[in-house]
Amino acid sequence: MSERFFEQPILNSPYEPPRFHHDLDADGQPTDLPPVAGRRRSELITPVPKPKKKKGKAAPAEQTGFVFADQQGLTTAEVEYNPTPIINEIRQHVESWRNLPNPAHWKVTPATARLLQHWRHHEFSGVRPFFCQVEAVETIIWLTEVAPGNSQYKKVLEHVEGANLQANPELLRMAMKMATGSGKTTVMAMLIAWQTVNAVRHPNSKRFSKGFLIVTPGITIKDRLRVLQPNDPDSYYKNRELVPADMLPDIDKAKIVITNYHAFKLRERMEVSKLGRALLKGRDGDLNTAETEGQMLQRVMPDLMGMKSIVVLNDEAHHCYRERPGVDDGLTGDEKKEAEKNNEAARLWITGIETVKRHLGVRGVYDLSATPFFLRGSGYAEGTLFPWTVSDFSLMDAIECGIVKLPRVPVADNLPTGEMPVYRNLWEHIGKKMPKKGRGKGGELDPRNLPSELQTALDALYGHYTKVFDLWEEKGIGVPPVFIIVCNNTSSSKLVYEFISGWTRTDENGNTQFNQGRLELFRNYDDYGNRLPRMRTLLIDSEQLESDEALDTEFRAAAAEEIDQFKRELIQRDGAGAADKLTDKDLLREVMNTVGRKGRLGEQVRCVVSVSMLTEGWDTNTVTHILGVRAFGTQLLCEQVVGRALRRQSYELNDQGLFNAEYADVLGIPFDFTAKPVVAKPATPRETVRVQAVKERADLEILYPRVEGYRVELPNDRLSATFSENSTLYLTPELVGPCSVLLEGIVGEGVTLNVDHLEKVRPSTIAYNLAKHLLFKHFRDPGEEPKLHLFGPLKRITKQWLDAGHLKCAGGTFPAQLMYQEIADQAAERIYLACQAGLEGERRIKAILDPYNPTGSTRFVNFTTSKELRWETSAKHCHVNLVICDSEWEAEFARVAEEHPSVLAYVKNQGLGFEVPYRDGSTPRKYIPDFILRVDDGRPDPLNLIVEIKGYRRGDAQLKAETMNTLWVPGVNNLGRYGRWAFAEFHHVFEIEQRFGELIQSFLQEKAA
């Protein structure tokens, strides 16, 4: 394994197509060679059905024997295995299509084009969609809207159709392979948005639907996916800005049902005993008491009944397939039982979807999985790719982009030897020594009899965990790192759980004996055998979910506040009666789902011992260590288990625009990727904190208007301008661009000029063209002719702007370059804003508010961040608990604001949603000021002061300030409904306190005057 790889594993930005990849050797391990330019190819093996024999002349023998380069020897007479899937070809087509600069050439609907531009270019306030997420959705869009209209893509479409005809003859499935932790839920939200908006706007189209059935393999995932419901408080469409604001009403029209595949099983309509069934048996055979397919659908998806065609999304779709009959895989014993169980579950899942197709119609099935591979016993070679897979973003790709943690094998320093081959595949050394029966049948086993190799492995990984734990404590993270142990059965899990957390046994005389847990940080008991008030180690398996044995009365009492909180959330989500049905099983599930989340039931859980519940759907991002205590027959299972530790804790970019590497330490899982033991120095963690409004500080709430634009009453004749330092345009080579440009239309004279010619252009020509551009762009009502009588005043104002030195040319630029369209837009914007300043006091400017949500408030602030620079706010001054600072300047201003006696309340504008629309030339943008303050300036009503902390002022900073002073502030003040507003900037950190004091004093003096 290359040391270079561990020094710099992250090569690419998560938001751009991969530009480099690590060189891998024949065994798939990174070499010591430099990174390779370009993207890694998808190299997976997929079954391809051979064509049926046709009548006619037989093919030559040499052709009959020709197959793809099948080094594994998987190809048979019935199924051919192709090591070069069509994914690479589709990827190239999508890339070429993506790079088309003109949306008119994309051959998609206007709604689709709008969504694609939004996902690719929108300035998200939080984490924006990763490239891999956008690419997955782009691939589906390309296959749905673009490829069917072009004959050159016929081969691709035939491949997808052929793959489904062989394996899913009643369905059209398309699978997206995405590494664990790369955000499949976001992809589902984007797919739903694309389908829904198009279905609403093109109701007669057969390509789109606004009805969705989301099928999951378990309850954990089902609960996690509630964010896909448009009305959920944490809905991804709004909270993660996945849909433009004006499209959100379309999303509300979607009908979405989220269910487990188990719901497809036909249930009994009545309970009849065996004797009763025999008595009621008639001539026609056994009494049929099971529900019909229609009744099942009405139970599972009542909201979708009556719809003509829906879209199905399969999460963790590797569980959904139809096994190939008549194939003997040679499995015996437990392996055969496991294969039969998997096939039964897969059969139920896909049969359920086929039932939906027959009764309602299915327009498409979109599969999402990190491992869309056939399982053992499916009739296909284990680990081969679903042939309907159309995109691939592998775990290695995700690591090279920093999207997931890097799995590694640490070396514990408490071992007498530096060699650790035993821990590569621990089960190989201890499997025969572990209990084989389930806990319910195994009797009272003694945890002290665990194999010594397992105890040593526990001690080794625990020794490293303690270092990480101490580091997190030192950094004040607030929640502990999480240690996962995955066992083979319930007997093993119970033994390991008791070994590390403590246990009691009753001896032959009926006396209860207590034994303390071996790993101190994971103990659930104090030294006297009393249960600790908060559980440190959690046991998860199916039997526990039935018996609730891990939730005793003491734990319920200690977690009463968290339980009440969960009940309130349940009522909000499912209605007032939902809390009455709450069981301990629900609470246990809540503990599991909230591990590592502050203020929730699972907050202080440090260790989770599991059988198989954590193989998928568990999204905790605080996992740092995993120990495998079971057999891992395939890399498929290895990746599923290791994937539980791969979710990143921090999504902040470093100075290079990349994510910093995060690590997960793994033992006992023979995961191929990081097989070389590496001395694992604990990485410095980044604390994740929640920023939110504090209920007890409600009197400090600040309200603000949500402004969408401005309405300016154009003057009939009189026009003047008030210029300021914000009116200045700095013309530099960086701003100008190429020195040869086509000038046409209202901007220029229809000639091509280069930089040598520009020096000769007369100032009067420049002023004339700029005034003309200003007139046509800013001084005409929509749909009306320009007010030509204003051209004279505008030419005079333009000349004043030029003569006053508000055009600064540097680096060889010339004033004539104002005739460039882009530069003319920027100059015209500055002059236009100066004209608005001349209208101040005439109430000709009014702000246009969001018609659906006109007022914003600090009470809605609620987000998490791992930024380390923050200020803990005063309970007397701020409704929100923290100020998350982008610079020391902002922290200094928070201190100044809290110490000034005239400040009644303040808030940092992060997660608040306060935005100011402005224009940068011809481009509409949104400006996010730094602070809002409520100030006592001596008048009966307080003054609302918007503050910007700014060091170096670029051109856009000038436009922002001028927009605030000439449009936003007078426009809101003229409304008369939101009090009085003002705007101020501070440019020097060491003068903030002095300048702020002077500003407040000036307000007081204005009142006195």
Number of domains the chain contains: 5
156 vs 939: CA distance, rounded Å: 72
pLDDT beyond 60 at 718: yes
Q: Decide the pairing of beta strands 310-315 and 79-82.
A: unpaired
How many Cβ atoms sit within 10 Å of the Cβ of residue 251? 22
For residue 413, the 8-state DSSP code is T
State residue 469's pLDDT score. 93
Same domain, 620 and 656: yes
On whether residue 4 sits in a domain, the answer given is: yes
Q: Which domain holds residue 11?
A: 1-40
State residue 515's pLDDT score. 86
Measure CA of the first residue to CA of the last residue in the chain; give whole Å: 77
On whether residue 59 sits in a domain, the answer given is: no
pLDDT in tens, 340-372: 888 898 999 999 999 999 999 999 999 999 888
Contact call for residues 267 and 289 (beta carbons, < 8 A): no
On whether residue 508 sits in a domain, the answer given is: yes
pLDDT in tens, 432-466: 888 876 544 445 678 877 887 787 778 778 878 88
Residue 262, CA distances (Å) to 347, 376, 425 in order: 11, 21, 33
State residue 875's pLDDT score. 93
Same domain, 765 and 829: yes
Same domain, 754 and 895: no
State residue 61's pLDDT score. 34
On whether residue 361 sits in a domain, the answer given is: yes
Structure tokens at 932: 């809002």
Residue 715, CA distances (Å) to 662, 719, 836 in order: 60, 7, 10
- Given pLDDT bands bounded at 50, 70 and 90, which one contains residue 157? very high
Q: In 44-109, which ranges are continuous DSSP H helix? A: 61-64, 87-98
State residue 363's pLDDT score. 93
For residue 537, the 8-state DSSP code is E
Same domain, 654 and 765: no
Q: For residue 617, what are the β-bridge partners?
A: none
Residue 887, CA distances (Å) to 613, 690, 909 in order: 43, 19, 14
Q: What does the DSSP assignment read for 168-186? A: -TT--EEEEEE-TTS-HHH
- Given pLDDT bands bounded at 50, 70 and 90, which one contains residue 46? low
Query: In the listed set 370, 393, 416, which residue is the last one of a domain according to the structure?
Result: 393
Same domain, 730 and 802: yes
For residue 382, the 8-state DSSP code is T
The domain that holds 125 is classified in CATH as 3.40.50
Please list, in sequence order, all residues whose beta carbon lies within 8 angstroms of the beta carbon of residue 5, skipping any fewer than 6 positions away.
22, 30
Exposed/middle/buried for 515, CB within 10 Å: 0-12, 13-18, 19+? Answer: middle
Same domain, 876 and 790: no
On whether residue 790 sits in a domain, the answer given is: yes
**Mean predicted confidence (pLDDT) in 230-251:** 92
pLDDT beyond 80 at 28: no
20 vs 401: CA distance, rounded Å: 10
Residues above pLDDT 90, as percent of the chain: 30
State residue 615's pLDDT score. 47
Same domain, 700 and 721: no
Residue 781, CA distances (Å) to 641, 714, 778, 786, 811 in order: 63, 8, 8, 7, 38
Same domain, 518 and 633: yes
71 vs 85: CA distance, rounded Å: 15
Please list, in sequence order, all residues whose beta carbon lies within 8 angstroms of the beta carbon of residue 875, skipping any fewer than 6 positions away.
694, 696, 697
On whether residue 594 sits in a domain, the answer given is: yes
Lowest mean pLDDT among 243-252, 677-686, 816-825, 962-971: 677-686
Query: In the listed set 667, 700, 733, which residue is the last one of a domain according to the structure?
Result: 667
Same domain, 427 and 513: yes
- Given pLDDT bands bounded at 50, 70 and 90, which one contains residue 411? very low
State residue 274's pLDDT score. 64
Same domain, 581 and 617: yes
Same domain, 820 and 877: no
pLDDT in tens, 607-654: 988 876 554 556 688 898 888 888 876 666 777 777 788 888 888 888
| 3-class SS letters over 278-319 | HHHCECCECCCCECCHHHHHHHHCHHHCCCCCEEEEEECHHH
**Mean predicted confidence (pLDDT) in 109-127:** 92
State residue 175's pLDDT score. 95
On whether residue 450 sits in a domain, the answer given is: no
On whether residue 5 sits in a domain, the answer given is: yes
Same domain, 631 and 597: yes
Q: Decide the pairing of beta strands 903-908 and 931-935.
A: antiparallel
pLDDT beyond 50 at 744: no
Please list, in sequence order, all residues whose beta carbon lies within 8 angstroms of the beta carbon of residue 526, skipping any fewer than 6 positions away.
532
State residue 359's pLDDT score. 93
Structure tokens at 229: 């419901």
How many Cβ atoms sit within 10 Å of the Cβ of residue 683? 15
